[in-house]
Structure formats: structure tokens, C-alpha cells
Amino acid sequence: MNGSIDALGGLVDAGLVAKSLDRKSRKGDINAAETADAHHECANCGQHLHGHFCSNCGQQAHVHRSLAHVGEEFLHGITHFDGKAWQTLPMLIFRPGRLTRDYIMGKRARYIAPVPLFLLVVFLMFFVFSFVHMPHMSGDSEPLTPTDAAVALAKIDKSLADIDQQMIKAKAANRTDDIAGLKTSRAALEFGRKQVLAREKKDYLKNPLVDTDAMLGEVKDHFDKGDFKVNLGNETLNERARTALKNPQLALYKVQGKIYKFSFLLVPLSLPWLWLMFAFRRGVRMYDHAVFALYSISFMSLLFVIGSLALALGITIPGLFLFLIFVAPALHWYVQLKGTYSLGWFGATWRTFAMSFAAVMTLSIYLAITLAIGLVD
């Protein structure tokens, strides 16, 4: 779906750009180049014009006033993908070292900058995570007896009643974020209720990505029994965390939101590891490491998107997920390290193993930070 949007956006961009360069002005357009004899100045800054672009501010001499251009700007604003995408993405996947090296050395006009690409791919990743789920799988759960089903339904109904009470309080206080989270939690519980009823009828189809009610229910049960002890070093933070654990569904919703909002932390968390690996190498700057990290994380996010879509489509090629989780990242790090920093095979190899360790540590620290922020917010 995203590829179709990108292709459509690129097609619209290409068509409109070609028309703007080749055609004469249409009715309703303002073409400063065609009226140079009268004005000789840019519509934006007033600079004297030579050619199709202003030499001072860079604005096009041809200023559109057509409805089609509104659509072009809308598509471009959503995707941020123009003709550069078809040069950047293949390079990111197959020649990451060349891409990173070119950008560091100033050859940037042909590529999407690392920060916009990072933000776009991270948004796409969490969009896919939110809306794409694993297909239902039959035969991997025992049917429930009427007694077990009644107990499970009673717990779910109690949780639904608690959420309804919290929603009344949230609406009275006009806490829109909490209301949205509570609605999400209620929908998840309703789904779980239907699954319990289906298991009682022996036609249950388990969805391991969506059906988190059992896990969250266990969390709440253990917390109610006093098995969980919260100690964040501050009593105010401890109280907030305890309040969050009373409603695990809402807490999970908040944590997921924080993971997306604070995804930029992956970059500064990665920089110290890269600095250590090149501490004694001359001519390498922190800027180089930042560009490396942004392009690398963008590629890893694309792997996550591919894996999620494969699960959603029921693709079970032997070794696919082993390749996506272990082989593809290692190969990408090796090629990117070797090309970016002009390394030999030995230097790139040991740094690839170091990157694997650094990635695990960085991801663990990042998840711990977002979990803590989500619980105390």
C-alpha cells in the first residue's frame, strides 16, 4: 500500500515538474519567467530572475495556482518521497556503505537526507505494527470447559466495569489521552471476551499478537496479590507506576506511544558505541557516526516492516525470520561499516560482532527508558 502511494506520488511529481518546465503558463498561473520584461523579480524575495529558479532564495520562477498542484503538495507532504526515493532505497538496502559515505562527503543532492528518512521509516514501522496482525492459527489452544469459561468471563467483565468507571472519571476531567487509551483497552477486552466464548464452543482461533489479555490479566493479578514491588527511587514515581499497573491495558497503550515518540533516542544511544569502535581512527567525526546510525536504524526498521507483513500474509518460508533477525542485520552492518569507514575485511568483521552486542544493549536501554516513562506518565 505504501509502495503504491509512493509510486503515485512520484508519478504526480514527475508529471507536474515536467509540465512546469516545458509548457507555457496556463490560465490562473503566475510565471515570473514569462513576465520578466515587466517585473524581473522573484515573487518571494524580489531578487532579479535568471532562468527557472531564483538565485537568492531558490524558489521556482513558475508559481503554481492550480488545484492539481495542491494535490501534488499533499502527496509530497505525506510521503516526503520524490525521485530521490528510487535512488536512496536501493542504495540503503544493497550499498549502504556507499550511500553513507557519499552523504558524509557532501554528495547529497541525489539522496533523501538521513533524518527525514529515519522519521518516515519509523512512522511506517509503527503504523504497520498498529494495524497489521498475525493471521489466526487453529489448533494451538485447548477448548475451555464451561467452568473455566465462566471464570474467565467474570474476570473480563470486572475489568470492563473498571474501565467504564475510569472512562467516566476521564471524561469528567477532560483527559483525552486517557480516554483514547481506555477505549483501546476496552476494545481489546471485548475481543478477548469473544475469544473466550469461541473457545467454549471449541472453535477458538488464537491470535498471539492481538490477544494480550491473558498476559495483562496475569500482570494485574500478580500486582493485586502484592507480588510486584515498585521501587523507582522516588515515592511520587512509585505511586504513578502503581497506578499504571492497576490498569495494564492502559499502561501498555501508553508505553507503545512512548516507544514511538521517543524513537529518536536510538540515535544518541548508538553514538557512544560507534565512538568506541573508532576512538583511535583519525579523520572520523561524530557527525559520521550519526549519519551511519540514522541510515542503519532506517534499514532495521524496514526489516521489521517486511517481517510484520510476512506474518500478516501468512508467509512461512523456512528460514525467513532467521534471516531477517540475524543474517540480514549482520550483513548490512558489515557492508555499511566497510564502505563508510573504508575498512578492510578484518576491521569490518570484528566491528560487525561489536555492533551486534551494541545493538542488543542499545535496544535494552531504550526499552527500559520508554517503559519507565510510560508507567510514570
Using an 8 Å Cβ cutoff, are 213 and 157 in contact?
A: no
Query: How many angstroms separate the CA atoms of 147 and 141, rounded?
Result: 17
In a 3-state reduction of DSSP, which class is residue 205? strand
Q: Domain check: are 100 and 220 in the same one?
A: yes
pLDDT at 248 over 70: no
Of 154, 172, 202, the last residue of a domain is 202
Q: Domain check: are 211 and 285 in the same one?
A: yes
Residue 124 lies in a domain: yes
Q: Domain check: are 217 and 291 in the same one?
A: yes
Residue 337 lies in a domain: yes
Q: Domain check: are 131 and 185 in the same one?
A: no
pLDDT at 352 over 80: yes
Residue 61 lies in a domain: no
Grid cell at residue 3? 509502495
Residue 48 lies in a domain: no
Q: Domain check: are 219 and 368 in the same one?
A: yes
Q: Domain check: are 275 and 158 in the same one?
A: no
Using an 8 Å Cβ cutoff, are 81 and 100 in contact?
A: no
pLDDT at 346 over 90: yes
Note if the pTM is more than 0.85.
no
Of 152, 169, 202, the last residue of a domain is 202
Of 166, 185, 202, the last residue of a domain is 202
What average pLDDT is seen over the chain? 74
Q: Tell me the residue length of the chain.
A: 377
Q: Domain check: are 123 and 189 in the same one?
A: no
| Domain interval for residue 102 | 87-135+207-377
Q: Domain check: are 166 and 258 in the same one?
A: no
Q: Domain check: are 189 and 292 in the same one?
A: no
Residue 40 lies in a domain: no
According to DSSP, residue 140 is labeled: S
For position 221, what pLDDT does the model report? 60
Q: Could you give the angle at the alpha carbon of 166 between the alpha carbons of 162 and 170, nearest 5°? A: 170
Residue 80 lies in a domain: no
Query: How many angstroms separate the CA atoms of 276 and 255, rounded?
Result: 31
Amino acid at 247: N
Contacts of 376 (CB under 8 A, 6+ apart): 232, 237, 240, 241, 244
Count of structural domains, the chain:
2
pLDDT tens digits, residue range 197-245? 766 555 444 444 444 555 555 555 655 555 566 666 666 766 766 666 6
Query: How many angstroms separate the CA atoms of 298 and 99, rounded?
Result: 13
Residue 29 lies in a domain: no
Residue 286 lies in a domain: yes
For position 47, what pLDDT does the model report? 82
Query: How many angstroms separate the CA atoms of 165 and 153, rounded?
Result: 18
Q: Domain check: are 278 and 150 in the same one?
A: no
Angle between helices 213-225 and 146-173 (to 10 degrees): 80
Distances (CA, A) of 345 to 115, 295, 334, 338, 339: 29, 21, 9, 7, 11
| Lowest-confidence region among 87-96, 134-143, 243-252 | 134-143
Using an 8 Å Cβ cutoff, are 6 and 81 in contact?
A: yes
In a 3-state reduction of DSSP, which class is residue 60? strand
* Between 126 and 138, the higher pLDDT residue: 126
Q: Domain check: are 184 and 212 in the same one?
A: no
Q: Domain check: are 118 and 154 in the same one?
A: no
Of 117, 136, 129, 93, residue with least CA distance to 309: 129
